[in-house]
Structure 1
Amino acid sequence: MILVTGGTGMLGAHLLLDLLRKEEVVRAIYRTEAPIEKTRKLFADRDCMDLFQKIEWVAADLNDIPALERAFEQVTRVYHCAAYVTFDPKEEEVLRKTNIEGTANLVNLAIAYKVDKFCHVSSIAALGETIDKDKRIDEKSNWNPDGFHSDYAISKYGSEIEVWRASQEALPIIIVNPGLIFGTGFWNQSSGELLNKIHQGMPFYTKGSVGVVAVEDVCSIMIQLMDSSIKNQNYVLVSENIGFQDLLNELADSLHKKRPNLYASPFSTGIAWRLDYLISLLTTKKRSFSRATAKASHATVLYDNSKITQTLNYAFIPASDFLKPLCQAYLQSL
């Protein structure tokens, strides 16, 4: 029995589909029933409703130990895809409780139930830094505790610490650090929000960069690593590094929209996040643009995927090959 957390999110839903296509026996946890509809629609769009019916859904929160204990019965492998994602500083406590404490609960139960292997989905946000700015960040880059990190990045780094701790307690683990994941079916969250903004006519661009990857690659690599004898390793999962302006231009072209043509300088984004903070402070509006988001939009950071490509002899899908079909699927969903 395989347990998947985050099965109602983009990565978890695609992973469930791939696992069931391999005829695995799968259980997925959920907090509320409504988001299951997105996973059901993904399976329906792939004409795989027969596989969807095979998912055993169990209601459980990452901090509800009794419910998690029921979910862990007869489980041999765990894919931990669930995470809370926000860049609103007001939600720091929720981030830590979900991403760090929730992960600690899962690995503790995995140890108690003698799970064979545990795969944790982290993020490139949890990776360290390089002293040489021309050197790419990889799995050995050192985390700088004195550097500026978003609350989300800190929570993902903290969750990794819990997983590594579990590996020292004899739990075989795998950690993957994906870049910005692109995949179909979840247009109002994660990278899907970026497509929404471009389709609505977003005029601004910055000159930073980001590591991108297709959801198909992330799922394939996770399954291969879990099916192998490899353990207690972490891997950067990035197809390629791409400038924000180039990424936005490619999305705009594929969506038949005008390219963003107004450069948002560090000074202007600095004003923007402060205004967003004031609006949030004076109203009940949730933060949409934080200091961390502004800083990341101007950061030119390159990631090295050579460890996973050499380990599995893996060839990633180029960004140009997955972005165009993704945009076509988005337009068809409107």
Structure 2
Amino acid sequence: MILVTGGTGLVGSHLLYNLASNNKKVRAIYRREHKLDTVKKVFSYYTEHSESLFNSIEWVEANLTDITALTNAFKEVTHVYHCAAFVSFEPDKYHQLRKINIEGTANIVNLCVSHNIKKLCYISSIAAIGHHANSEELITENTHWNTEDDNSVYAITKYGAEIEVWRGTQEGVDAVIVNPGIIVGPGFWKGAGSSSLIRLIYKSVPYYTNGSTGYVGVWDVASVMQQLMESNIKNEGFILVSDNLTFKNFIYKVANALKVEPTKKKASTFLLELGWRLDWLRHKLTGKRRQLSKHTAKSARQRTLYDNSKIKNALDFQFTPIDEVIEKTSKLFLEDIKKD
């Protein structure tokens, strides 16, 4: 039996589709019942038998902090894909991020140890990998993580979650960690994840920035995770990035695929610095959620380049070009808005 946490998310739903399509015996954890409809929607992109495929999965309601529910979910499980996480760059969400990302992962690892799980796959993030002072130097899995850096609250908790996974390997659990870049894929247009970028660009992003980062298609992420779990590779981490793009380039590629006009306004350093301070003030005065934190403003102008050679060599894997990913995702988005 395979257990998947975070089954109602972007990666989790695509991973479940792959596993169920290959007739794997799968149990998936969900937290909110209404999100199950989105999983069915994702399945419907790829098959006419989405309902029967969905029903082949054993769904269990559980929370990463609910030990009793998690323990029940682990019955007869041999392999675990841990996809569940809380994504936020808002500083005031730090304790909630720690609770879910670090303590929640510790709970999963502890249950993997006590249930003699054969292998664990954890989906982390490139946010949990260190950076070079030289923006032109490629970042690899061995790039040093500096605890003294001004890291975002999200990055800190994802790095902390990785520490829990590595602890599990010292206690007898074989594990692999994947660190994807910004994941591009369909189905979650209105959420807080990367899929919402497509919707935002369609509605018009007011500014672009000079920063850059790594991007990858959700189909590649799900495929690599499954291949790693079925391989003899263990206790290794892998960067999953198809292409390194500037934010401007990504916005222009998506806008072109959606047939909308991209923004031509560049956000200067002054504008970004002013923006996050005004956003902080708005949050303090109104209590509304942060839209632009100090760290997101910093990331927007930071140039980072990632090396994907380790996973390519380990699995002889070829990433789908990001242009193809954008075209496929944008086409599905346009089809969806016609139905709404």
**Counterpart of 1:209?**
212
What displacement does 1:130 show? Answer: 2.6
In 2: Cα distance, 1:137 partner to 1:201 partner: 31
Aligned partner (choices 273, 276, 280) of residue 283 of structure 2: 280
Aligned residue type for 1:264: A
Q: Distance in 2 between matches of 1:51 and 1:193?
A: 26
Residues 58-113 of structure 1: CA deviation (Å, up to 9, x unaligned): 11100100000000000000000010001111111100000000000000000000
Given candidates 197, 200, 221, the residue that maps to 2:200 is: 197
Question: 1:131: Cα distance to partner?
Answer: 4.8
**Residue in structure 2 matched with residue 60 of structure 1 by the alignment:** 62
Match of 2:271 in 1: 268
Tell me the secondary structure at the aligned position of residue 159 of structure 2.
Answer: helix
Distance between the aligned counterparts of 2:45 and 2:122, measured in 1?
Answer: 27
TM-score norm. by structure 2 comes to: 0.97
Within the candidate set 232, 237, 256, 2:235 is matched to: 232
Secondary structure in 1 matching 2:34: coil
Equivalent residue, structure 2, for 1:100: 102
Tell me which of 164, 167, 170 is aligned to 1:168: 170
Report the Cα distance in structure 1 between the residues aligned to 2:60 and 2:325, rounded to whole angstroms: 33
Tell me the residue number matched to 1:18.
Answer: 18
Report the 3-state secondary structure (helix = DSSP H, G, I; strand = E; otherwise coil) of the residue aligned with 1:242: strand
Identity %: 46
Check if 1:87 corresponds to 2:89.
Answer: yes
| Further displaced range: 130-139 or 14-23 | 130-139
User: Structure 2: how far apart are the matches of 1:195 and 1:240?
Assistant: 17
**Residue type at the aligned position of 2:103:** E
CA distance in 1 between partners of 2:182 and 2:31 (Å): 24
Deviation string 1:186-215 (CA, Å, 9 cap, x unpaired) is: 111212221121111222000100100001
Q: Which runs of 5+ in 1 are unaligned?
A: none
How far apart are the structure 2 equivalents of 1:232 and 1:255? 41
Q: Which runs of 5+ in 2 are unaligned?
A: none
Q: Matched residue of 2:77: which SS?
A: coil
Equivalents in 1 of 2:131, 2:90: separation in Å? 23
Query: Once structures 1 and 2 are overlaid, which stretch shifts more, 120-129 or 250-259?
Result: 250-259
How far apart are 1:150 and its partner, in Å? 0.5
Q: Report what 2:3 is aligned to.
A: 3
Matched with 1:294 is 297
Relative to structure 1, the CA distance from residue 67 to residue 157 in structure 2 (aligned partners, 3 Å threshold; closer, same or farther) is: same
Q: Distance in 2 between matches of 1:132 and 1:42?
A: 40
Q: Distance in 1 between matches of 2:284 and 2:134?
A: 39
Deviation at residue 238 of structure 1 after TM alignment: 0.2
RMSD, aligned α-carbons: 0.9
Q: Is the 8 A contact 2:11 2:222 kept in 1?
A: yes
1:125 aligns with 2:127: yes
Contact 2:131 2:304 in 1 (8 A): no
Question: How far 1:259 sits from its partner (Å)?
Answer: 1.3
Q: What CA distance in whole angstroms lies between the structure 2 residues aligned with 1:201 and 1:175?
A: 35
Contact 2:239 2:307 in 1 (8 A): yes
Q: Does 1:155 align with 2:157?
A: yes
* In structure 2, distance between residues paired with 1:35 and 1:133: 39
Distance, in Å, in 1 between the alignment partners of 2:330 and 2:134 is: 36
Check conservation: 2:135, 2:303, Cα contact below 8 A: no
**What is the one-letter code of the residue matched to 1:24?**
K
Specify whether residues 246 and 308 from structure 1 end up closer, same or farther in structure 2 by C-alpha distance, changes over 3 A only.
same
Which residue number in structure 1 is paired with residue 42 of structure 2? 42
Other structure's SS at 1:34 match:
helix
Deviation at 1:132? 4.3
Return the letter of the residue paired with 2:36. Answer: I
Structure 2: how far apart are the matches of 1:219 and 1:302? 22
Contact kept in structure 1, 2:18 and 2:222, CA below 8 Å: yes
Which deviates the most, 40-49 or 112-121?
40-49
**1: CA distance, partners of 2:273 / 2:80:** 41
The counterpart of 2:248, out of the listed 242, 245, 248, is: 245
Indicate the residue corresponding to 1:28 in structure 2: 28
Paired letter, 1:12: G
Structure 1 residue matching 2:277: 3-state secondary structure: helix
